[in-house]
A and B are shown apart, each in its own frame.
Chain A
Amino acid sequence: MSTVASLTRATLAKDLRLEWRSKDAINSMLFFSLLVVVIFSFSFDPTAEESRQIAGGLVWVAFLFAAVVALNQTWAREMRNQVLDAYRVSPAPPNALFLAKVIGNFIFVTVLQALMTPLFIVFYNLRALGPAYQLPIVAALGTWALVVNGTFFAAMSLRTRSREIMLPLLLFPISIPALLAMVEATGAILTGEFSARFWIVLLAAYDVVFTIASLFLFGFVLQAE
């Protein structure tokens, strides 16, 4: 019996292989992320003293925009040639497909962040005054929060008009507590003035709640015509 884990692995491998082959999406996304960083740096004077305090907000809003562009094409390949029907008709558990897409998006967005972060550090002369080791934890938890709900809502918006606008429209309100946590945690770590521990715990709780909810409810969304 094919387990969810092995099927997730197979689907993820397939997606990564396809992405690697075409490279269109990742290249244009990387360039888009670069543009976002530059525009933000022009808009918010990077030499101001408060830059360390506002950097948290800037960085995460930039990540959010890049993530939305990535999330919008999550299901693009499955919609072409109606491949999603092939999945729905098979006995394969929907959760395997969902997890594979979430992990794929997580990797995708993390790659984008890996490009954008050094640029932000350069443009804003950022340096962490607090415990810097917490930053990757915040990044991972925050990215998962955006990506798990984003993948789920991307699937929901497949059944609606104005697909591309529907995704951020659904995602942003629900993500507010996670966004607040990411921004505050990053700010706390960079300025060293507060402890980020509460925010990290909140992010972890958010991730657990919505991952479980998504796994529970994805089947319904997939089977909706």
Chain B
Amino acid sequence: MSAAVIVTGLVKQFGRFAALRGVSAEFAAQRLYAILGDNGAGKTTLLRALAGLTPPTGGSISMLGTTDLRSVCGQLGYMAHPSLLYDEMSGMENLRYFARLYDVADCDCRCAGVIHAVKLDPLLTRPVGQYSQGMRQRMSLARALLNDPKILLLDEPFSNVDLRSAREMVSLLMGLRDNGKTIFVVTHQASLLEGAADEFVWMEAGQIVSRTPDLQPQETR
């Protein structure tokens, strides 16, 4: 299976703070990767670098066979802890707008379909700002899925989400992975992905320290 993402010697510094210190890894396609680590390990920075939001200070990223991230950005889905949605519009209205950004065909049908997939109601007219956190995260995930991306980058999708919603999201992600997507999930709640993730990637101090197929207690480092 060809690698979906190849990262070589990735370095990101903010002034004197090195968020990423030479990360090198290959990530195969059609897998669900859980990226774990303490606060400050560089997980969010890595994800943002992959999304093209943070230009690296050094090293390179190859995505879907190219180092020009801008050319493949239409095949990426990105989700972060802020909802990336307009609080004053309803879920459907938000998605309709973002579908325009990706030039999604058959817009209304696709938006409704994605909202159904995250187990929300497309006809809900309540503005997103009034959603519960769980609903908001799910709608944000729906937005990330609009363009049927090959690669999904999810940063803390389960934080502050109720257990039931979180479990539903995980099974959705497994289904998406089985359909051919490559999914990266940054999370502190590793247990949620036990049995779902293909690989657990441990980061510490800006580097990847280990990659394990199972969730094992970390050895003393």
Contact = CB atoms under 8 A, between A and B. Distances in A.
Interface string B87-131: 111000000011011110000000000000000000000000000
Interface in A89-144: 89-92
A91 B101 contact: yes
Interface residues of A, number: 26
B53 A225 contact: yes
B101 A92 contact: yes
Nearest to B52: A89
Contacts of A169: none
A86 interface: yes
Contacts of B70: 91
B82 interface: yes
Instruction: Name the 7 nearest CB pairs between A and B, nearest first.
Output: A92-B101, A82-B82, A90-B101, A2-B103, A86-B84, A91-B74, A10-B100
Contacts of A87: 101
B29 interface: no
17 contacts: A6-B100, A7-B100, A14-B86, A14-B97, A17-B89, A77-B88, A80-B87, A81-B82, A81-B85, A81-B86, A81-B87, A86-B85, A89-B53, A89-B78, A91-B101, A92-B102, A225-B55
Contacts of B78: 85-86, 89
Given A88-B52, A89-B73, A92-B102, 15 more contacts: A1-B103, A6-B100, A14-B89, A18-B86, A18-B88, A22-B88, A81-B82, A81-B85, A81-B86, A82-B82, A82-B84, A86-B98, A89-B78, A90-B147, A91-B102
Contacts of A6: 100
Given A10-B100, A14-B97, A18-B86, A85 B80 contact: yes
A91 B73 contact: yes
A127 B89 CA distance: 45
Interface in B31-87: 51-55, 70, 73-74, 76, 78, 80, 82-87
B214 to A, nearest CB: 32
B198 to A, nearest CB: 24
Contact of A90 (B87, B89, B98): B98
A90 B53 CA distance: 10
A161 interface: no
Interface in A1-49: 1-2, 6-7, 10-11, 14, 17-18, 21-22
A2 B87 CA distance: 25
